[in-house]
Amino acid sequence: MPPAASLATTIAGSPLASCLYNASGPVCSTADELDALGGSDAGAILSKSATLEKRAGNPEPRYVETSWGSINSMGLPNEGYRYYLDYARRAQAFGKPYFMSVSGLSHDDNIDIIKALAREEAISAIELNLSCPNVPGKPQTGYDFDQSRVLLERIFEHVDQPLGVKLPPYFDLPHFDMMAAVLNDFPIAFVTCVNSIGNGLVVDTDTESVVIKPKSGFGGIGGDFIKPTALANVRKFYTLLREDIAIIGCGGVKTGTDAFEHILCGASAVQIGTQLMREGVGCFARIGRELSTLMQEKGYPDIDSFKGKLKSLD
Ligand code: RRO
């Protein structure tokens, strides 16, 4: 057997000992949850998307696990950005990057938050969430290419730290081209593909009812079911975006093989959401071991030796 494979990667100029870390959403809302991520094998700590003020989110039940994944309509419950800004200093104890997710309810809110984070060196990078599907009355910015450009123009006037964006999944090929044309015009450090598939509906046939309370049962779909969509988005943006923009894969990762597929499609790092909710922070060590074993079997010493090298049949 060749020597153990390295899972190390670099995102937004920050070295990560492991390319696996949490998706913004599950178990990253409180300092205790963030500490648990810090103490785990996750390569970075990413906070829950923050708004200007603390939010309780949507009524419960608002997260349900299914045999193939999950549906959620959390509605952006979070402690408000000041909490996650304050946590940045505490995160330093773990010796890994701390990324803050920002999801203001308006362009102005996003600008106010970004300005307030400036000069906080303990925040390694910002993930701007352009794709929350669950706030009633708030469209997903990432599906509006003009509004995405308007927001990014304003953001890059003020942002201090490296900044990436979390995108919704796209399904139509011209939409990939349109979003890539916007993103390539800005000094974006990374894009995270993908957020949950918005506004799915899960039905319980026994009760003949929806399974979550908000929005008449409509919610974001995550887990196994979304992996092919996530891989398609990783692959497309890997081929369309500037080389200096890293792709972070997110969607349907529960084994080392799933993570391998994301990297093969072009991901420099891989986030875990639904499986983290199901398994807890131990998933990073397990999936990391599985990925490392697979890489070793295939003779890949590191991520770069197979990143993006997906073969086509023509
Ligand atoms: O809090 C949520 O309802 C939520 C967010 Br901010 C998001 O970006 N994606 C998601 O599936 N749920």
In the beta sheet, which residues pair with residue 16? 9
Q: Which residues are catalytic?
A: 132
In the beta sheet, which residues pair with residue 65? 70
Within a domain: residue 218?
Answer: no
DSSP state string for 246-276:
EEEEESS--SHHHHHHHHHHTEEEEEE-HHH
Within a domain: residue 30?
Answer: yes
Separation CA 268–CA 245 (nearest Å) = 10
User: How many domains in the chain?
Assistant: 1
Radius of gyration of the chain (CA): 18
Other C-beta atoms closer than 10 Å to the C-beta of 232 total: 19
pLDDT at 15 (0 to 100): 98
The number of angstroms, rounded, from the C-alpha of 125 to the middle of its chain's C-alpha atoms is 13
- Site to probe by mutation for ligand 1, drawn from 79, 196, 271 as the one with most ligand atoms within 8 Å of Cβ, is 196
SS3 at position 221: strand
Within a domain: residue 131?
Answer: yes
Within a domain: residue 186?
Answer: yes
Is the peptide bond preceding residue 61 cis, with omega within 30 degrees of 0? yes
In the beta sheet, which residues pair with residue 125? 99
Within a domain: residue 152?
Answer: yes
For ligand 1, whether the C-beta of 45 sits within 6 Å is no
Contacts of 148 by beta carbon, 8 Å cutoff, 6+ apart: 130, 141, 142, 179, 182
Separation CA 234–CA 229 (nearest Å) = 9
Structural domain of 124: 9-60+76-197+223-305
For ligand 1, whether the C-beta of 196 sits within 6 Å is yes
Q: What crossing angle do the helices spanning 81-91 and 107-117 adopt, rounded to 10°?
A: 30
Residue 122, domain CATH: 3.20.20.70
pLDDT per residue rounded down to tens, the chain (314 residues): 667 899 999 999 999 999 999 999 999 999 999 999 999 999 999 999 999 999 999 999 999 999 999 999 999 999 999 999 999 999 999 999 999 999 999 999 999 999 999 999 999 999 999 999 999 898 999 999 999 999 999 999 999 999 999 999 999 999 999 999 999 999 999 999 999 999 999 999 999 999 999 999 999 999 999 999 999 999 999 999 999 999 999 999 999 999 999 999 999 999 999 999 999 999 999 999 999 999 999 999 999 999 999 999 98
pLDDT tens-digit readout, 213-243: 999 999 999 999 999 999 999 999 999 999 9
DSSP state string for 186-203:
S---EEEE---EEEEE-E
Within a domain: residue 214?
Answer: no
The protein residue whose alpha carbon is closest to atom 8 in ligand 1 is 132
pLDDT tens-digit readout, 28-38: 999 999 999 99
The protein residue whose alpha carbon is closest to atom 9 in ligand 1 is 132
Answer yes or no: pTM beyond 0.85: yes
For ligand 1, whether the C-beta of 58 sits within 6 Å is no
SS3 at position 60: coil
For ligand 1, whether the C-beta of 129 sits within 6 Å is yes
Q: What single letter denotes the amino acid at residue 197?
A: I
Within a domain: residue 203?
Answer: no
Q: In the 3-class helix/strand/coil scheme, how is 2-48 assigned residue by residue?
A: CCCCCCCEEECCEEECCCEEECCCCCCCCHHHHHHHHHCCCCCEECC
First to last CA, the chain: 33
Within a domain: residue 1?
Answer: no
